Amino acid sequence: MSMQMQSYNKGNKMKIENPEYKYDLDGVTKVSIKVTIDDKPSVVPLSLTNRHYAEILKQVKEGTLTIKDAD
């Protein structure tokens, strides 16, 4: 297991910035979140089993993160 992964397991927060929903071709269904995680561009699927998505939801619930709609 990498050092970065170990630090997340010890309760350190991921540095999540600029989250923005991305939509399916229908323009209605949200399918992912374009985001920067620990200074790396990422696309996170909307899956509760995804650790990044779970952390995003946690930070939204805590009021420390807001996900904006796509432009």
| Model confidence band, residue 59 (pLDDT cutoffs 50, 70, 90) | very high
For every residue of 21-61, DSSP letters joined together read EEE-TTSSSEEEEEEEETTEEEEEES-TT-HHHHHHHHHHH
Per-residue pLDDT averaged across 28-38, rounded? 97
pLDDT tops 60 at residue 8: no
Q: What is the mean pLDDT of residues 47-67?
A: 96
Task: Tell me the pTM.
Answer: 0.80
Average pLDDT over residues 13-25: 94
